[in-house]
Amino acid sequence: MNTQNRFSKRYSFEFFPTKTEAGAEKLLATAQQLARYEPDFFSVTYGAGGSTRDRTIDAVIGTQTATGVPTAPHLSCVGDNKQEIIELLDHYKANNINRIVALRGDLPSGMGLSSSELRYANELVSLIREHSGDHFEIEVAAYPEMHPQAANFKQDLLNFKRKVEAGADAAITQYFFSADSYFHFVDRCESLGINIPIMPGIMPITNYSKLSRFSESCGAEIPRWVRKQLEAYGDDIDSIQRFGEEVVTRMCERLLQGGAPGLHFYTLNQAAPSLAIWENLKLGERR
């Protein structure tokens, strides 16, 4: 079990770029609220193929400038050519952005991998290191329950290792609801000589139907007992949120006690669900 950061946990919050001016203002207010908790960084997602390029840039630079919290753009490589990626790297560097979450991204339907200059995230990490040296701290994605398109667990782990060897500094996992899947994954990484911090990605439970649909597509398993209880609550949002908060808080407690180097919250641009877990765990006092 990786315990290297046991005594200096890192906490981060993820946002998505919004489509409207009002959404952007709301996102900034959420970021300002979360900034009071002194997270290590924020990150902002990116639509593969560049669909949110300008909005991601604006949200990243706007959030970092307004809050002072280092903010990392997600950057995916499928569908963007190398020149576009290099221009983005230069733009971020010129605007004092010094972290990046480097991803393959999910292809827009109808687009094959063969039409992409860069096909996998390890190639993107290599390009960032070749072009920008050590300027950016690079996080990559990791999948304790296996990436849905991977041939098998072992291949997925070896592919994860390629990203580390290409120069990734740390990883953030896909969300999961079983602490054991995380511990097992970290143990297997260690046995392959992968020693970078692997931050559990935490998804607060606030809406069952959305969570269920999304989990299906990204390969995150909702344990049967959690699913059954959430289904039984039907439209009773308060009970869903109360139960979800308890389940996720308990899992986070186990993760931190078991040596996880911190937590990365998928906020979906809402402060309250992540902060409820933060307060339950007294994260401010654990640092």
> Is residue 99 close enough to count as binding ligand FAD by CB under 6 A?
no
Task: Centre a 10 Å sphere on the Cβ of residue 200 and count the other Cβ atoms it contains.
Answer: 27
Q: Is 86 helix (H, G, I), strand (E, B) or coil?
A: helix
The residue among 191 and 238 lying less far from ligand FAD, judged by its C-beta, is 191
Q: Does 48 bind ligand FAD (CB under 6 A)?
A: yes
> What residues numbered 138-157 form the site for ligand FAD, per CB under 6 A?
141, 147, 149-150, 155-156
CB 48 within 8 A of CB 111: no
Site string for ligand FAD, 186-205 (x = CB under 6 A): ---------------x----
Name the residue type at position 259: G
121 binds ligand FAD (CB under 6 A): yes
Contact yes or no for 120/82 (Cβ under 8 A): no
Q: Based on CB atoms, which residue is closest to ligand FAD, 231 or 270?
A: 270
Interface residue with ligand FAD, options 39, 70, 105, 261 (CB under 6 A): 105
Tell me: does residue 172 bind ligand FAD (CB under 6 A).
Answer: yes
Strand 41-44 to 198-202 pairing: unpaired
Q: Which is nearer to ligand FAD, 165 or 231 (CB)?
A: 165
Q: How far is the CB of 35 from ligand FAD (least distance, A)?
A: 20
Least distance to ligand FAD, CB of residue 224, Å: 23
Contacts of ligand FAD in 24-43 (CB under 6 A): none
State how far the alpha carbon of 273 is from the alpha carbons of 112, 148, 205, 209, 266, in Å: 37, 27, 8, 17, 10
**Does 116 participate in binding ligand FAD (rule CB under 6 A)?**
no
> How would DSSP label each residue in 144-185?
TT--TT-S-HHHHHHHHHHHHHHT--EEEEEE-S-HHHHHHH
Dihedral angle, C-alpha 127, 133, 137, 139, nearest 10 °: 20
For the bound state, the minimum distance from the C-beta of residue 161 to ligand FAD, rounded and expressed in Å, comes to 10
- Whose Cβ is closer to ligand FAD: residue 170's or residue 271's? 170
* Contact call for residue 120 and ligand FAD (CB under 6 A): yes
3-state helix, strand, coil in the chain (%, to 5): 50, 15, 35
Q: Which long-range contacts (CB under 8 A, 24 or more apart) does 156-162 make?
A: 157/188, 157/189, 157/192, 157/194, 158/192, 159/120, 159/122, 160/189, 160/194, 161/189, 161/192, 161/193, 161/194, 162/120, 162/122
- Among positions 71, 76, 241, 267, the unique one binding ligand FAD when judged by CB under 6 A: 76
- Among 18, 64, 174, 181, the residue binding ligand FAD under the rule CB under 6 A is 174
Separation CA 44–CA 198 (nearest Å)? 19
Length of the chain counted residue by residue: 287
106 binds ligand FAD (CB under 6 A): yes
Give the interface size with ligand FAD as a residue count (CB under 6 A).
Answer: 25
117 is catalytic: no
Contacts to ligand FAD by CB under 6 A? 45-46, 48, 74, 76, 101, 103-106, 120-122, 141, 147, 149-150, 155-156, 159, 162-163, 172, 174, 201
Residues recognised as catalytic: 14
